[in-house]
Amino acid sequence: MKRIGEPILTADRISLAFGGIVALNEISVQIRQSEVLAIIGPNGAGKTSMLNVINGFYHPQAGTIAWKGKTRRRMRPYHAAAQGIARTFQNVALFHGMTTLDNIMTGRLLRMRRNFLWQAIYSGPAEREELAHRAYAEKIIDFLEIQAIRKTPVGRLPYGLQKRVELGRALAMEPELLLLDEPMAGMNVEEKEDMCRFVLDVNDEFGTTIALIEHDMGVVMDISDRIVVLDYGRKIADGPPDEVRTRPEVIAAYLGEER
Amino acid sequence: MRRNVSPAADDRLLSAAGDALDTFPKLLLGHVRSRPERPANREKDFGIWRSWSWAEIATEVEALACGLSAMGFRRRDKLAIIGDNRPRLYWAIAAAQALGGVPVPVYQDSIAEEMAFVLNHAEVRFAVAEDQEQVDKLIAIKEECPHLETVIFSDPRGMRHYEQSFLHDYETIQAGGREFAHSDRNFFRDEVAKGRGSDTAIILYTSGTTGRPKGVVLTFDNVLISAKNAIAFEGLTDREEALAYLPMAWIGEHIFSYAQAYCAGFCASCPESQATVMADLRELGPTYLFAPPRIFENILTQVMIRMEDAGWVKRKLFHYFLRVAKRVGLPVLDRQAVPLFDRALYWLGNVLVYGPLKNMLGLSRVRVAYTAGEAIGPDLFNFYRSLGINLKQLYGMTESSVFLCIQKDGAVKPDTVGSPIEDVEIRIAEDGEVLFRSPGAFQCYYKNPEATAEVKRPDDWVHTGDSGFFDPDGQLKILDRAKDVGWLEGGSLFAPRFIENKLKYFPHIKEAVVFGDSRPFVAALINIDLGAVGDWAQRRNLPYASYQELAAEDTVYDLIEDCIEQVNRDLAAEPALAPSQICRFLVLHKELDADDGELTRTRKVRRRIIAARYQSLVDALYSGRPTGRIETEITFEDGRIAHMRAELAIRDVAATSPLPERRLLKKAS
């Protein structure tokens, strides 16, 4: 079975506020090598903010983030990408006019070594490089079973498939850490099951560490190794699914407190 | 792509092909001698077409056969083959046959329970499965299948943590086989040489519209002679291109993509996945194509939907030239005299519309295309023919190794299935049943002498269970399954499939089941086609969230009512069938599905099962109530079961006179 290793990302006492609204309040989270970590919580609990802090969209007012032991200061999303952190978005953020294949190929951009002039000439090393990247993109297409939509503009695809293409683009970066923001939102049961299988397969076959936000508790309990529960910007629980499920404060956050 | 085929290996394989080429493995070795470099199989994988020559597949088959033998596979052992069309699975068929074993392909979408029945009945010891999905099913039924010892999987994805000792990787088996072949160089050749034409070549389980599947036993002679006769009939060569995309457990697929490919030496190509068949068809441009009517229907529906979205000029052009094709296309294809002006117009149409359209669909190189399995609508049939595609019908079944009748070029009619081919005798029994005698006639149903005796009589005439007759030109016309033909209460003939086919010719209707035997009038359960009706609804800004919701729409009922009225007009034109006009119908809330046992795996309606399942709806149809209530079970592909409850509207349809009296009364009130 898989080994869950040392923490690769450590967020230490992160605080983030927008004006007077405190989105994250001294939150400490560790993400360990090769685990599937779920971040759950009611609406507005700060889950997406947490992901945004991790990949550099937001800059916390206080607290530090260490990626593989190195503490980072101010960082931008492309730094995160270059370091091997990929993500998908709550509202699909693909290039709608481009085909599935082209969208996935954009995920390879960071790994392309030749400059765009050389690529435009498309000869020698540039051609070889392009072929290698295309082969990797095809591996992902095969993995996600989206061969039939390879040449379809993503704007024409149903939502469930767009989510899958977005996952494909993130995978094309060969990330070490994959952040998924509600990968199963708005899907029907069958699509959800497919997505679960892909998430588990990615974790298993590529050894990718995954942190995901999800509302469907059935899904969360099934696929995650560990769960972090946020509520009003505070962390109220952190542990394996079975343990978290029984915590009274988690039940209260989800079902409301008895009065 | 050339891979390591050493000349020595070639020589070694060649000498086995000395004797008569009366088995497929012998034919394979024959091809290694006569056309080693010609492609034998292609497969699209990772977006690229990859091909294997005859010499290459011979070494692949040898490696697998030797590997199987090393694992303990003996002559007469059965090898189950489960998965989508993949070259490796076709090689497994050849490997089993080379060892004197019997391949037993299983429908890849069978649920575990169906699979267990076949595996047990055939006493399968070895199985080759495509991927994790199939392996999971096999693991689930392993306990119930005491004969099953070894499962070989082709695609290891997702199975890294599987620890069952009976699971083996295809490549590992082949590697073992290569080692084995190294120590016993003549083993494969000798095994192949032991095969005889009279040996069992394959057991195919027919889905059967009633009861348990039956295993049809066919010998090499059965399959080979039939395949060769059809090749001679159509003049097929080793230059044909064929797409292997239908279920491997179906006799048609076995004959077209395996038997005929091995006999004529042409290449069978496997699509990337079931979902990409249309795109792969286009890339490949086959010259020899087989498709059941529903595929041709789907293609036409897709084309029509997309033309609706085209610009004004294109749309006008398209419809104008379709009308031209309708008028002159058939005579042009049949090489009859056509006025010069029309011929010029058709030529222009070919440049502007038909040519590009055929190219889009991947049909521009088709020399021979067959449709069979079900009746095809005359409009649909003639649409393709008028575009210049040589689409023909044939008649056959698993029990006859397919070919009984084929339509001859130039003598193609939409409502017949052609005349008997070489070596086939056909006779119509007194009760109208079609009987045949042919070299392709099956040996028996495996371990089922009663069923065999029922169908194959001592005088060798095989009873098809179809009722039909010969038309004045000597072409066979099939009416219906003999046992389905019944009588209305009024005493007039009721041929359900005939009516259902008429209904299914409409793109909006996917399936139809009509009732009427011993009933006062004919009533129908309708399944709408989600693609066609969904698109129709979208164009009318009709919101719907699910199949069930769409099916219950009033306007959808109107749409279906129009279709049924047209069918009624058609039926009224024939005095014998006028009383069979459909008086009431309802639209079902779910699609009929093979997983629920409502259709066979080849998508034929299981009339009795549907009648029993939807008993309450059928009763409502005949009770005069305005709605019917139903609770159904739905089986998901993994075997889980869900319940579905619905209240369905029932609608009366106007019949064309002469009509049953009941209708007259209602109209008057």
| pLDDT tens-digit readout, B376-424 | 878 889 999 999 999 999 999 999 999 999 999 988 988 889 999 989 9
Same domain for A181 and A67, yes or no, is yes
Examine residue A143 and state whether it is found in any structural domain, yes or no: yes
A145–B273 CB contact, under 8 Å: yes
- Using the Cβ of A156 and the Cβ atoms of chain B, whether some distance falls under 8 Å is answered with no
Report pLDDT for B42: 96
Q: What distance lies between CA A214 and its chain's CA centroid?
A: 11
Torsion of CA A85, A89, A92, A93, to 10 degrees: -60
Chain B positions in Cβ-Cβ contact with residue A138 (cut-off 8 Å):
46-48
> Rounded distance, CA B220 to CA B98, Å?
12
Same domain assignment for residues A99 and A58: no
Burial B565-588 (b: 16+ CB within 10 A, else e): bebbeebbeeeebbbbbbbbbbbb
Average pLDDT over residues B359-372: 92
Structural domain includes residue A58:
yes
Report CB contact under 8 Å: B273, A148: yes
User: Of A174, A199, A234, which residue sits at a domain end?
Assistant: A174
Integer angstrom CA distances of residue A149 from A104, A144, B273, B495:
12, 11, 11, 42
Contact yes or no for A147 and B45 at CB 8 A: no
* Complete DSSP assignment for A232-257: TTEEEEEE-HHHHHH-HHHHHHHH--
Name the residue facing B273 among A135, A147, A201 (closest C-beta).
A147
What band does B65 get if pLDDT is binned at 50, 70 and 90? very high
* Strands B627-635, B641-649: pairing kind: antiparallel
Could you tell me if A140 and A202 lie in one domain? Answer: no
**Per-residue pLDDT tens for B29-51?**
999 999 999 999 999 999 899 99
Last residue of a domain, one of A174, A203, A232: A174
Q: Is A133 within the bounds of a domain? A: yes
Q: Please report whether residue A44 resides in a domain.
A: yes
* Selection from B215, B217, B225, B603 nearest residue B404 by Cα: B225
Chain-chain contact of B47 with A138 (C-beta, under 8 angstroms): yes
Beta strand B425-428 with B433-437: parallel, antiparallel or unpaired?
antiparallel
Q: How far apart are CA B556 and CA B599, in angstroms?
A: 24
Distance CA B346, CA A162 (A): 43
Sole residue written with tokens 């011979």: B58
CB atoms within 10 A of CB B521: 23
In chain B, % of residues over pLDDT 90 = 59
* Position A258 pLDDT exceeds 70: no
Q: Are A152 and A183 in contact (CB under 8 A)?
A: no
State the average pLDDT for chain B: 88
pLDDT at A204 over 90: no
Average pLDDT score over residue span B583-594: 90
Least reliable range by pLDDT among B169-183, B216-230, B499-513? B499-513
Q: Are A180 and A164 part of one and the same domain?
A: no
| Closest approach of A163 to chain B, Cα-based (Å) | 18
For residues B657 and B635, is the Cβ–Cβ distance under 8 A?
no
Q: In the numeric block, which tokens belong to residue B408?
A: 């001859």
* Confidence category of residue B187, pLDDT binned at 50, 70, 90: very high
Min CA distance, B158 vs chain A (Å)?
Answer: 7
Helix B187-194 / helix B54-70 crossing angle, nearest 10 deg: 90
The H-assigned helical ranges of B521-668 are 530-539, 547-552, 554-572, 607-613, 615-623, 661-668
> How confident is residue B19, by pLDDT bands cut at 50, 70 and 90?
low
For residue A137, how many other CB atoms are within 10 A of its CB? 26
Element of type H or E holding A197: helix A189-201
> pLDDT band for position B13 (50/70/90)?
very low
Say if residue B131's pLDDT is above 80. Answer: yes
Are residues A180 and A79 part of one domain? Answer: yes
Q: Which two tokens stand for residue B155?
A: 């695609």
Note the pLDDT of residue B145: 94
Give the model confidence (pLDDT) of B377-390 as tens digits.
788 899 999 999 99
Give pLDDT, residue B344. 94
pLDDT confidence of residue B528: 93
Distance (Å) of CA A201 to CA A192, A196, B222, B564: 14, 8, 46, 49
* Domain count within chain A: 2
How confident is residue B17, by pLDDT bands cut at 50, 70 and 90? Answer: very low
A258 and A242 housed in the same domain:
yes
Reading the block at residue B534, the tokens are 């969904």
Six-digit token pair at A251?
């039940």
**Closest partner CB to B275 (pick from A139, A142, A148):** A148
Cβ neighbours of A204 in B, within 8 Å: 158, 160-161
Total residue length of chain B = 669
The CATH number linked to A41 is 3.40.50.300
pLDDT at B8 over 50: no
Task: For chain A, give the mean pLDDT.
Answer: 87
Residue B11's pLDDT is 47
- Please, which pLDDT band fits residue B427 given cuts at 50, 70 and 90? very high
Q: What is the pLDDT at residue B413?
A: 87
**Residue B158 to residue A205, Cβ atoms within 8 A:** yes
Residue A188 and residue A153 share a domain: no
Asked if residue A142 and residue A80 are part of one domain, the reply reads: no
Q: Residues A1, A78: one domain? A: yes
For residue A141, the enclosing domain spans: 94-174
Question: Residue with structure tokens 């989105």?
Answer: A23
Q: With CB atoms and an 8 Å threshold, state whether B158 touches A201.
A: yes
Where is the domain boundary, A140, A174, A208?
A: A174
Q: What is the pLDDT of residues B617-633, one digit of tens each?
A: 999 999 888 888 888 77
pLDDT score at B155: 92
Residue B76, phi then psi, degrees to nearest 5:
75, -5
The domains located in chain B, with CATH, are 7-289 (3.40.50.12780), 485-668 (3.30.300.30)
Nearest CA distance, B209 vs chain A (angstrom): 29
A141 at the B interface (CB within 8 A)?
Answer: yes
Interface touch A142/B160, C-beta < 8 Å: no
Nearest-Cα distance to chain A for B137, in Å, is 17
Residues of chain A neighbouring B161 (CB-CB closer than 8 A):
1, 204
CB < 8 Å from A in window 257-316 of B: 272-273, 275-276, 279
Query: What percentage of chain B exceeds 70 in pLDDT?
Result: 94
Same-domain check for residues A128 and A192: no
Whether A135 contacts chain B with CB within 8 A:
yes
Higher pLDDT, A244 or B479: A244
Q: What is the pLDDT of residue A257?
A: 59
Is A243 an 8 Å CB contact of chain B? no
Q: State the pLDDT confidence band at B668, using cuts at 50, 70 and 90.
A: very low
A1/B161 CB distance under 8 A: yes
**A100 and A57 assigned to the same domain:** no
Structural domain contains residue A89: no
CA separation (Å) from B56 to A179, A202, B2, B11, B296?
45, 34, 8, 13, 34
The answer to whether B305 and B529 are in contact (CB under 8 A) is no
User: Does A131 touch chain B if contact means CB atoms closer than 8 Å?
Assistant: no
Q: What is the ipTM of this complex?
A: 0.78
- Co-location of A40 and A11 in the same domain: yes
Q: What is the pLDDT of residue A2?
A: 62
Contact B640/A at CB under 8 A: no
- Kindly report which listed range (A1-15, A220-234, B185-199, B635-649) carries the lowest average pLDDT score: B635-649
- Across the interface, of B46, B157, B276, the residue whose CB is closest to A148 is B276
